[in-house]
Amino acid sequence: MVTTQWMMIVVVSILSGLDRTALAQTMLSRPLVCASLAGYVLGIFVPALQIGIMLELLWLMRLPVGATIAPDDTQAAIGAVVLVKLFAPQISDHLYAFIIFIVVLVVILAEVGKCWDVWARHLNERLFSNAVRGLERSSTRPLVINHYAGLVVFSCAALLSLLFIVAGGSGALWVGMKYMSTLLSVFPVHEKGLVAIFPLVGIASILVVMQVKHTVSLFVGGFCLTFLLLEVL
């Protein structure tokens, strides 16, 4: 990748990371959006879109709201696109199976990488306390300084999370690359099979987190009723 592409990926990572919790929340941080944007920058839009769809469905109900610290799905999506760009040319015969393998890998790394989010939130609490003490002294300068410092902290957390995912994923792929073709050939996945996996992943992730009695019965009944209405109409 050329230097310009690397710089654009850094910009996408920072803007998406800030959009996730600290700024705006315009949905740029959603895996479907940020992965597609990163794929467009790197020239692999279609594989990136597939990655974004799968991660979006997988973490559909895991939102960084309140005290809940969800896995960093934003940087995981961008990191997955970067890994596909770096390693996919070496195993182009098994691209679709490789995409699924990358998704599984970044899901694991995202669970570990959310420690950067914890670090950013703790540091942000200290910055908030500093800003409050400044206001108690009737000074607005500490408020401005700590506000921008908070943006820097969350930007650094986003970049560190992306770096961890890319470095960890690259290390794992570098070690296992000699066995990768054999492994992927054992589990052949074609384009039609990959498309069929997307709704299954989304349905499974929703069913896991729904705290409603008879969830499966209600879901299947609703699906059958909708299908019947569509067929009749």
Domain count, the chain: 1
In a domain, 196, yes or no: no
In a domain, 228, yes or no: no
| pLDDT for residue 205 | 66
| pLDDT for residue 219 | 64
| pLDDT for residue 159 | 92
Contact (CB, 8 A) for 47 and 99: yes
| pLDDT for residue 209 | 61
The per-residue pLDDT for range 6-65, each reduced to its tens digit, is 899 999 999 998 988 777 778 898 999 999 999 999 999 989 998 998 888 777 766 655
Residue found under tokens 């300084």: 145
In a domain, 218, yes or no: no
CA 86/CA 110 separation, integer angstroms: 19
**Which portions of the chain are predicted below pLDDT 50?**
none
In a domain, 124, yes or no: yes
User: Structural domain of residue 162, as residue ranges?
Assistant: 3-189
Torsion (CA) 43, 26, 63, 23 in degrees, nearest 10: 110
In a domain, 105, yes or no: yes
In a domain, 206, yes or no: no
| pLDDT for residue 214 | 65
